[in-house]
Chains A and B, each alone.
Chain A
C-alpha cells in the first residue's frame, strides 16, 4: 500500500531534519539533505507502508548525509578534519569519538552503505549491537560480523 507522502513529511520531517543537522552541522545543508530523503520517499512511495517509518527514514537520512560528507570531502576547499570533527563532535565519549574518527575516514571511501550506517549507529550514536540489529533488520551476529569485517579491513589497511 502506498504511503501519503505529505503526511509522512509532516510526521517525520522534524526527525529527519534533526538527524541531518546532527550529521552535517549546517542548517542549509541539512534542509537540503532532508529534501533528498523525502524525494526518495516519493520515488518509492508505492512500496512503503505508512506505519513505523522512523527506522527506515533515519537510515536513509544517515546515508544521504554520509554521501554528502563524502562528496564534500573530495573538494579541496573543505578540509577533511573539519568534516570528521563535525561528525565526531556529536555527544559521544572521547574514546569512542577518536575511534569513530579513524573508522569513518575509511568508511567514507571503502565501505558499503549498510556497513557505514551500522558503524555510524554503533560508534557515533552509541547504539548497542542489539539496538543496531533491531533498526537495520539484521541479526546481532550479522551486525557484529560486519563490524568485525570492518575492523579487519582497517587492520589490513594499516599493516602489521
Chain B
C-alpha cells in the first residue's frame, strides 16, 4: 500500500482547519507552505472560502 507523503495533495481536512483558524501556528505555517507548493493549492483555499460564502 502506498504511503502518503507531504509532497502529495494536502488533505481536505487540513485545508478546512486552516480556513477555520483551528491549526496551531506551526501547523498552520506548514499547511500554508504545502498548499503554496501544491499546484492549485492556494486556489483550493480560495475556492473553499468562496464556497463558505455561497453556503
Task: Give the interface of A toward B (CB within 8 A).
Answer: 11-15, 17-19, 22, 52, 54-55, 58, 91-93, 95-96, 99, 121-123, 125-129, 131, 135, 151
Contact = CB atoms under 8 A, between A and B. Distances in A.
Nearest to A135: B13
Closest 3 CB pairs of A and B: A14-B55, A127-B11, A14-B52
Interface residues of B, number: 20
Contacts of A121: 11, 13
Given A18-B48, A128-B5, A128-B6, A54 B55 contact: no
A12 B3 CA distance: 29
Contact of A127 (B13, B16, B48): B13
A85 B14 CA distance: 24
B5 A125 contact: no
Contact of A14 (B1, B3, B51): B51
17 contacts: A14-B51, A15-B16, A17-B55, A19-B12, A54-B22, A55-B13, A55-B17, A58-B16, A91-B9, A93-B8, A99-B1, A99-B2, A121-B11, A126-B9, A127-B11, A127-B14, A131-B14
| B interface SS class | loop
Contact of A18 (B3, B4, B11, B16): B16
B2 A18 contact: no
Given A13-B55, A14-B51, A18-B51, A58 B4 contact: no
Given A54-B22, A93-B2, A99-B2, A18 B12 contact: yes
Interface in B1-37: 1-6, 8-9, 11-14, 16-17, 20, 22
B11 A125 contact: yes
Which secondary structure dominates chain A's binding surface?
helix
B17 A54 contact: yes
Interface of B: 1-6, 8-9, 11-14, 16-17, 20, 22, 48, 51-52, 55
